[in-house]
Amino acid sequence: MSNDISSASSSYMDSLRWNETNTPTAKEDSNTLSQEDFFSLLTQQLSFQDPSNPADNDQMIAQMTNFTMAEGISNLNTKFESLTASMTSNSALQASTLVGKQALLESETIDFDGENLAKGSVVAETAVESLTLRITDSTGQLVRTIDLGSKSAGAHRFEWDGKDGEGNVLPEGEYNISAEGFVNGDYSSMPLATFKNIESVNINGSSGIIVNTKEGAVRLTDIAEIA
């Protein structure tokens, strides 16, 4: 009876023990010859060579040199891939800091947030006289005229305090803006650039960093200024 109890107890304890199994480790297949493979081939070549016509030492050294160079180039390519991935990661991190800032973009609208000055630039290809900014609301009604006077060729910064011609603060929002002046006696329009909020950024492998505003997407390299 005691033997039966001992046997049952032993079987029960055995069932509680951890079952150690040897799990075979799968060896990854590789189509690349390693240095070990090369020396194995070299050993086979030496063992099967004709004793009366052994391999030339210079040829053997050349083979070893070529293999070492090939292996070095392969390792260098791997390091370059790692460097590229690291640079892309750093670019993404740097690009994320642009969100919430403002980019100076070519535009025919200007944004007023209700408090801060709205800023932009007029681009004059040649000297211009009586340069004037005209700001209109969404209905096309003229709300403000700003006289900038005569300007030389180049980009000229301007500011708008968000007030109409009578000094009243206008509601925040987007307003249309245009610039006209006399160039060589002819009344002409001038291209404008205003600051737009950066809403998000994308990392594009071929185009680099893409900045998204409500004006659309533009490459970071095409932005004249970030504030």
Q: Which CATH architecture has domain 108-194?
A: Sandwich (2.60)
Which residues are bridge partners to 180 per DSSP? 132, 189
pTM of the model: 0.57
Task: Determine the Cα–Cα distance for residues 55 and 88; give it in Å rounded to an integer.
Answer: 49
Query: What pLDDT sits at residue 207?
Result: 66
Mean pLDDT, range 191-209, rounded to an integer: 81
Category of 106 on φ-ψ map: left (φ > 0), alpha (ψ -120 to 50) or beta = beta
Highest mean pLDDT among 1-10, 55-64, 120-129, 199-208: 120-129
Query: What pLDDT sits at residue 10?
Result: 55
pLDDT tier, 83 (very low <50, low <70, confident <90, very high otherwise): low
Query: What pLDDT sits at residue 215?
Result: 80
- Beta-sheet strand order (sheet of 200-204): 200-204, 208-213, 216-219
Residue ranges per structural domain of the chain: 108-194
